[in-house]
């Protein structure tokens, strides 16, 4: 029994965790809004509410203490505004708007500041001028707005700092590379910024940068998640493949080294968060034969302590481009996934809320597949996986080692007979789990690899 449970825990298992997921609604459908949580308050503002570049000035505010949603209005419609939670404030900075008469772009240097205690708004301006595709993040009582684009051609490297205690601006040391649409994450008093193969760490106390290059191309626009010991940069867009990426780059905070994991589902424009030892990866646009890439409702949950990976079909809609910065807001034991694009053409008002209940859920019943065979068994240089999949839903074939690391995944068409040959010659000797999974269930078998 213990052996069986071990194999199942390492498989890509779907779970019935309905009690962990609830929904709410935004007052306006939007994709790529800017959002952040500060204490008990979630703020979602700006973004686009159609695909004609009609930008929004709407703000939805959720108070977790009362469970009430309220609305406010930004000083101007804005898209790709930086956002940061610092002190008792939420700060929207910059973004791009439009002239309602001519339709021309307007690049903003305006800043909207929300006080979560008084629920009042004030306005300010960037000292360095207009910025959009800018990244914002809070460290203590200060909000840092990094890089961005000043017009349609000019990428910048400025660091603008807003002190919420004195309501004043200062300039930090410039980023040692042009940042544009970089991924941003905070750990302690330091900020990591990554764009393409270039990454740097900014010490907010010393006002200094340390930066380096990756030796090979890495995805862009990855979703950043910070755990107590690591920074995970998840998914993103692979320029070399012209497709969503399945890579996870992991930075060890203590020793400054990098390692990698692999997503079960390639995805870009996703959202991710860390809560109670788990990393939640949700939605995004997933891989297909060619663009346009379809959105997904798949949620991957990684246990950072055990290395276990589970897959859930838990978003209420297939959605990408939910959040501009890619990090899902967390309040207490809840993670929020608001808005986005569910179809590649329509916009959503839906807010999916994941509540960490401390339970692992229940495994779904076995997938209705027949003739599920692995041969030879044990295998050395190859394994032939054959099965008839009796389901109308799409499914996935995934192979994991006994540490939960995925070594192969493929999306399967529903209702087809399958005969797949995998080259296992480079796999380390040991036990693996081959899992078929879909909304209807999971079916797993043990595979032994020998030298």
Question: Residue 364: its pLDDT value, please?
Answer: 40
Q: What is the pLDDT of residues 122-147, one digit of tens each?
A: 999 999 999 999 999 999 999 999 99
318-332 per-position pLDDT tens digit: 898 888 788 999 999
Residue 208 has pLDDT above 60, yes or no: yes
pLDDT > 70 fraction of the chain, expressed in percent and rounded: 87
Give me the pLDDT at residue 290, please.
53
Determine the pLDDT at residue 210.
Answer: 97
Provide mean pLDDT across the span 44-60: 89
**pLDDT (tens digit per residue) in 77-103:** 999 999 999 999 999 999 999 887 787
Contact 424, 381 (CB under 8 A): yes
CATH class of 24-362: mainly beta
Q: Give me the mean pLDDT over the 171-175 stretch.
A: 97
Confidence band for 17, pLDDT divided at 50, 70 and 90: very low
Q: How many CA atoms lie within 13 A of 192 on its CB side?
A: 24
Structural domain boundaries of the chain?
Answer: 24-362, 368-449
Residue 361 predicted with pLDDT over 50: no
Of residues 26 and 363, the one with the higher pLDDT is: 26
pLDDT digits (tens, 9 = 90+) for 59-70: 999 998 878 899
Q: Which CATH number fits domain 368-449: 1.10.10.10, 3.40.1190.10, 2.60.40.10, 3.40.50.1110?
A: 2.60.40.10
- Residue 161 predicted with pLDDT over 50: yes
Q: What is the pTM of this model?
A: 0.77
Of residues 436 and 286, which shows the higher confidence score?
286
- Please give the mean pLDDT across all residues of the chain: 85
At 204, the pLDDT band (50, 70, 90 cuts) reads very high
> What's the whole-number mean pLDDT along residues 287-304?
80
Residue 421's pLDDT band (cuts 50, 70, 90)? very high
Decide whether 24-362 matches 368-449 in CATH topology: no
- 5 or 216, which is more confident: 216
């Amino acid at each position: 029994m213990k052996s069986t449970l071990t194999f199942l825990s390492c498989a890509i298992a779907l779970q019935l965790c309905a009690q962990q997921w609830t929904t709410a609604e935004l007052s306006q459908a939007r994709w790529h809004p800017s959002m952040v949580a500060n204490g008990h308050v979630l703020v979602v503002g700006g973004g686009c509410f159609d695909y004609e570049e009609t930008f929004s000035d709407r703000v939805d505010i959720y108070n977790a203490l009362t469970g009430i949603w309220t609305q406010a209005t930004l000083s101007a419609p804005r898209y790709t505004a930086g956002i940061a939670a610092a002190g008792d404030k939420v700060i929207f900075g910059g973004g791009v708007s439009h002239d309602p008469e001519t339709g021309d772009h307007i690049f903003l240097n305006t800043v909207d500041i929300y006080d979560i205690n008084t629920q009042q708004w004030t306005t300010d301006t960037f000292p360095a001028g207009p910025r959009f595709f800018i990244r914002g993040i809070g460290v203590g009582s200060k909000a840092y707005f990094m890089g961005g684009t000043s017009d349609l051609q000019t990428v910048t490297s400025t660091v603008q700092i807003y002190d919420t205690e004195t309501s004043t601006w200062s300039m930090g040391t410039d980023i040692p590379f042009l940042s544009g649409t970089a991924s941003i994450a905070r750990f302690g008093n330091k900020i990591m910024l990554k764009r393409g193969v270039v990454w740097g760490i900014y010490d907010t106390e010393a006002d200094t940068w340390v930066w380096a290059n990756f030796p090979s191309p890495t995805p862009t626009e990855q979703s950043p998640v910070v755990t107590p010991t690591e920074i995970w940069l998840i998914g993103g867009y692979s320029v070399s493949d012209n497709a969503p990426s399945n890579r996870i780059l992991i930075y060890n905070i203590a020793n400054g080294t990098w390692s990698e994991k692999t997503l079960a589902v390639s995805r870009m424009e996703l959202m991710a968060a860390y809560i109670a030892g788990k990393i939640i990866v949700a939605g995004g646009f997933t891989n297909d034969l060619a663009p346009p890439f379809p959105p997904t409702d798949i949620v991957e949950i990684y246990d950072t302590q055990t290395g276990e990976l589970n897959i859930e079909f838990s978003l209420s809609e297939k959605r990408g481009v939910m959040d501009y910065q890619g990090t899902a807001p967390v309040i207490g034991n809840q993670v929020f996934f608001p808005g986005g694009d569910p179809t590649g053409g329509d916009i959503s008002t839906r807010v999916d809320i994941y509540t960490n209940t401390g339970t692992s859920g229940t495994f779904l019943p076995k997938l209705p597949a027949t003739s599920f065979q692995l041969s030879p068994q044990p295998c050395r240089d190859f394994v032939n996986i054959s099965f008839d999949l009796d389901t109308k839903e799409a499914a996935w074939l995934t192979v994991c080692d006994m540490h939960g690391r995925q070594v192969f995944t493929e999306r399967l068409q529903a209702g087809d007979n399958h005969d797949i040959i995998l080259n296992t010659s480079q796999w380390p000797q040991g036990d693996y789990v081959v899992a078929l999974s879909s909304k209807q269930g999971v079916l797993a078998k043990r595979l032994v690899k020998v030298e």
